[in-house]
Amino acid sequence: MKSSRQARFYFVQALTLVRVPLIFIFLAVSVFSAHPPSAFWFIVGFGAMVLSAITDLFDGYCARKFQVASRLGSYADPMTDKVFYLTTFPTLVYLADRAGQPTHARVLLLFAILFLLRDQWVSFLRSLGALHSLSAKANWSGKARTVVSFPTICVIYYYLEAPQTWRPPIPAGFLYSLEVLSLAINLVSIWVYTTRFWPALQLELKPPRDSGT
């Protein structure tokens, strides 16, 4: 029984951490393959990205289902999310520029900056919250951000790199609508986390007492 529980625990941790090598496979294919990539390399890059996104949707579910949720998982999951965004958005900027879409590349650059700033801000707030015993667990806004942003990133990559004969007619308006939705949810997430940790931030903004009085 104990060994079975340990196996489930390590399976869930592996499901979280495998996101990192998968996204590095996507990075390597995107940078080193020709443009447009061959069908084989597109499948490898796109498959690695999709699998990386899927693991984020299921690791938390499996942890709860198998009753092996842990503090390690609660910290490893947002860390691997950061690796995903840190890798994918700059790569998509590069791919859009290489595909001759400079305006789209600028939009994706804005995405990259905002998403990474959001992650740093949330990490900062969680650190302050830990000083005042506030929970650092992810909330609904972070999960909504993941549910929308991961598929959006996959659609963008497909739009930019899929072989011409494979591509369904994805209207640019639909793609930009997904990007705007992801941007909006990211801003909502910033607001939700700021509101949640605002009491801790207020306490830390108070000047320290004079030790001599």
Domain layout of the chain by residue ranges = 2-204
How does pLDDT run across 133-191, given as a tens digit for each residue? 877 676 778 778 888 888 899 899 998 998 877 766 678 888 889 999 999 999 999 99
Average pLDDT (63-74) is 71
Rounded-to-integer distance, Cα 144 and Cα 172, Å: 23
Q: What percent of the chain has pLDDT over 70?
A: 92
Average pLDDT (118-139) is 83
Residue 164 exposed, middle or buried by CB count within 10 Å (0-12, 13-18, 19+):
exposed
Average pLDDT (15-25) is 89
The most distant pair of C-alpha atoms in the chain lies apart, rounded to whole Å, by 77
Contact 156, 99 (CB under 8 A): no
Superfamily of domain 2-204: CDP-alcohol phosphotransferase transmembrane (TM) domain (1.20.120.1760)
Band (pLDDT 50/70/90 cuts) for residue 1 is low
How does pLDDT run across 84-110, given as a tens digit for each residue? 888 999 999 999 999 899 999 998 999
Residue that wins the pLDDT comparison between 197 and 79? 197
Q: What percent of the chain has pLDDT over 90?
A: 32
Cβ neighbours of residue 121 closer than 8 Å, sequence gap 6 or more = 190, 193, 194
